[in-house]
Amino acid sequence: MSDFLPYGRQFIQDDDIAAVTEALKADYLTTGPTVAKFERAFADHVGAPDAVACSNGTAALHLAMMMLGIGEGDVCIVPSITFLATANCVRYCGGEVVFADVDSDSGLMTPQTLEDALKRAGKPVKAVLPVHMRGELCDMPALSQITERQGGRVVEDAAHAVGSRRTFGNQVVHAGDCRHSVMTTFSFHPVKTITTGEGGMITTSSTAVAAELRTLRSHGMVRHPGADPWLYEMDSPGYNYRLPDINCALGLSQLAKLDRLAVRRRELAAYYEQRIAPLAPLIWTAVTAPGSDPCLHLMTVLIDFKAAGTTRRAVVDGLTAAGIGSQVHYIPVHTQPYYRKRYGDLDLPGANAWYEACLSLPLYPQLEKSDIDRIVETLGGLLGIK
């Protein structure tokens, strides 16, 4: 049997290793000049005025909620199809989560599901956190307009979406450019399109917001120009959410090849769609909206397991036995015991339908088209498709 194909894998080359080695030989291992270089390069790449590096994607979300002043009783809207961190970061600050439903074929919050969540909130909403699932961008102009109309702020969770873009009318929106949000957060976990090992980033259109985020990521400490060199002040507590120079060196090297990695992911995703299309109606790829040009982090297919006379567990086990990894993204967060206890049982049919059908297949630059042939043929066999 061929080598096992995981659902995601980091892409590390000799130049990445050399960049980290050089950082290890430098004067700073953490809180050094490479951090600022990575921040500036990332901001320039996505088209944002400023960017702030931090220790991981969850820390980025938490810092964003702190920056907005989310506190006890403040309501924030989060789509139910996301990783736990998007909702948990609201709770870290004492805020309350109202879960929005998603489109069952894309996994995304939509203008209608946002409107429905706003009605259920029962009070003014302080923040809305759209999640660019898989790398597919939400309808940001519409979501932003709806949110701002009732006095809230938008923070985009783009953990999956570095390198993605979408055209609205004549405007091309890039993930992280913050044209329709106050902040956008990213993750550089190893299975993402680019990695820093662990790491995160917040982009923003406000230099004042960026300055405050840098204070919050480093214990809330402020050093004033001209003061004694050992002096610092803390007006309010922050966290140790800094990203070391070593990680930023890897990030800079990875960022330099982002465009090339995005091209490769788009090629592989297009080939997946070509190979999966004949397997309809039992299996189909997650929907891509008109005008969207995602750099997919996840290759998610939707499967009618009942019609195929099987279960997702049987398919996952069959793929594993054939040396093919898969994953489920995600279990609806509103069904987690903590949130059920806090908010009761919610009826979010889109999120439930997405969860019942979704399965993420291998997608990473080292994958070959012959690997995709093997994956799709194996999957078709497990579903009884000749």
**Known active-site residue 192:** yes
Consecutive H or E run containing 361: strand 358-361
> CA nearest 141: which of 289, 308, 323, 343?
289
Q: State the catalytic residue, choosing from 192, 306, 341, 369.
A: 192
* Vertex 131 angle, CA 7 and 353, to 5°: 70
Question: Coil, strand or helix: which one is 374?
Answer: helix
* CA distances in angstroms from 189 to 162, 167, 225, listed in the order given: 12, 27, 36
The pair of structure tokens assigned to 11 is 């892409």
The pair of structure tokens assigned to 220 is 């809330």
Name the residue with tokens 């939707």.
Answer: 302
The DSSP string of 58-93 is: HHHHHHHHHHTT--TT-EEEEESSS-HHHHHHHHHT
Name every residue whose Cβ is closer than 8 Å to that of residue 285 and which is 6 or more positions away in sequence.
272, 273, 276, 299, 300, 301, 302
Neighbours of 258 (CB within 10 A): 17
Residues in the chain: 386
Interstrand relation of 96-100 and 50-54 (parallel, antiparallel or unpaired): unpaired
The DSSP string of 3-57 is: PPB-S------HHHHHHHHHHHHSS-SSSSHHHHHHHHHHHHHHT-SEEEEES-H
Catalytic residues: 192
